[in-house]
Amino acid sequence: MEKNADSLRLTVEAEDGSRLDAYIAAQVPALSRTRVAQLLTDGRILVNGAPPKKSYRPVAGDVIAIDIPPAEPAGMAPEDIPLDIVYEDSDLLVVNKPAGLVVHPAGGHPTGTLVHALLHHIGDLSGIGGVLRPGIVHRLDKDTSGLMLVAKNDATHRGLSAALKKREVRRIYHAAAWGHLAQDTIDVDAPIGRARNDRRRMAVVPDGRPARTRLFRMARWPAADLIRAELDTGRTHQIRVHLAHLGHPVVGDATYGPNATRGLGGSTRGWAMELARRVPRQFLHAAELHFTHPTTGETMQFEAPLPPDLAAAAEWADSTSTAG
């Protein structure tokens, strides 16, 4: 791959049968398939010097040229929203995102997002992600708190996205899940895709994309476990879907475990209901982030403790639990 500030050049080494948009999205993680489709529509992608059809499937030897325009500020007015910036230099930021803050504009959230706050703080973000997602290397759900990487320029964005693809960025979460894992340590390897009966949800499906999560029990409470979860891949809702698939949905998860406490009876029923009352949202927090700085080569490691809402619930759970 040859690249400069606003263009990419790919040479196809071997054909895999995928459509052009899927091929490019797989080769350039910073570009979503939707973004690639828009670039194709705008005539900013050429194959062997000519505009391709959207249905084209690359073959070995093809040369793909991608022209990435600068990010467009239209409709993205900076907003003075407080940010908890854990680290910042000329290339990137590490932000501790609070629960309730949407990462980028989407349906129902045209303003008040992390991107709007970043535009106020930085003014000029990496444009490779497009109009709605400038600088965003990876995302967190609205109700998930914790550490996020943000790129200030395209070179850093590409470097971090490539590191994510090669699994060189470690993302570790803390979660509370209903019930008890069968073992203290579990590796979940189960493909994730859109749920058959509800396209707004994700699920473990045979033809889904590969998804792997490592789970380690940190504490055993009367009717729930405190879990350390490390992502090996980064699918949408991955930890939430994998835990629900195991029968242990995340505490407070209104999408994948809204009725989880109904199956908890006996002496732990009251405890479970009280924990549910004390957890104001899904108990999922991006606690650790490890990566190599794409410019300096320095090893970067960051940790963010549980925010006050989850910390208070965990403290109560610890205080009402007995060993074993």
List the catalytic residues: 141
**57, 235, 242 from 245: Cα distances, Å:** 35, 14, 5
Task: Please calculate the CA angle 135-138-144 and round it to the nearest 5 degrees.
Answer: 115
SS (H, E, C) 261-273: HHHCCHHHHHHHH
Cβ-proximal residues to 83 (8 Å cutoff; 6+ apart), any chain: 95, 114, 117, 118, 121
Q: How far apart are CA 70 and CA 154, in angstroms?
A: 10
162-176: b (≥16 Cβ within 10 Å) or e: bbbbeeebebbbbbb
The DSSP element (H or E) to which 139 belongs, if any, is none
**93, 144, 241, 300, 308 from 99: Cα distances, Å:** 18, 5, 19, 24, 11
Q: How far apart are CA 12 and CA 302, in angstroms?
A: 37
Closest CA to 1 of 34, 23, 33, 17: 23
Sign of CA dihedral 310, 312, 317, 319: positive
> Is residue 54 within 8 Å of 20, Cβ to Cβ?
yes
First to last CA, the chain: 54
